[in-house]
Amino acid sequence: MTLTPKQTEIFTLIRDAIMRDGYSPTMQEIAQELGVSRVTVHEHIKALEKKGALTSSKHKARSLSIPDGFALPSDMHDGITFPLMGRIAAGYPIERLQDDESLSLEEFFGPRTGSQGATFALQVEGDSMVDEGICSGDYVIVERRQTARNGERVVALLPEGETTLKTFYKESDGRIRLQPANESFDPIIVDDCQIQGVVIGVLRRY
């Protein structure tokens, strides 16, 4: 299955929007983003549906979704797999490393596409979670979820429209406490918020 360059561009835009926002853009939003007509977008999306890259529901503006397991050929290369050479001691030395295994980040963190369990990355700005080893400039790997358990680090959308990375706690009075991991920051207490995902990993480049 091969996509044209424009189909790839539209597919990538839709995929990224779903992973970022939890829902697909409208035809008009895609047209405005790419500087093309709505009719052109409609034609490309129909072609993508025929090729099995997208599915949609009739009469719904944001119903585009990506079938589970579908990925662009460029997404399926081995670029996120590294040789797993063994274990390295941070204390006493250990025996020589072996080189017969590999570490796939996709297997480790989960799939990047699909309507359920998709993962995405966010770059951290600020030091409110530094005491849990999440520093400004780090990348957090987030599993898209709408619920969280006490003690999980979440990406939360606040009622004012801002997003924040904090540790989630449901208080006995029903309110939600979003707890920073830095004594210089106060917790955020809200009646409700929208959980957009739960942090499952942190990446840092030196």
User: Which position among 24, 56, 104, 166 bears the catalytic label?
Assistant: 166
User: Which position among 128, 136, 172, 184 bears the catalytic label?
Assistant: 128
Whether 136 is catalytic is no
Whether 166 is catalytic is yes
CB atoms within 10 A of CB 177: 15
Phi, psi at residue 107, to the nearest 5°?
A: -70, -35
* Residue bearing tokens 């359920």: 116
Alpha carbon 65 to its chain centroid, in Å, reads 15
Q: Of how many residues is the chain composed?
A: 206
Active-site residue list: 128, 166
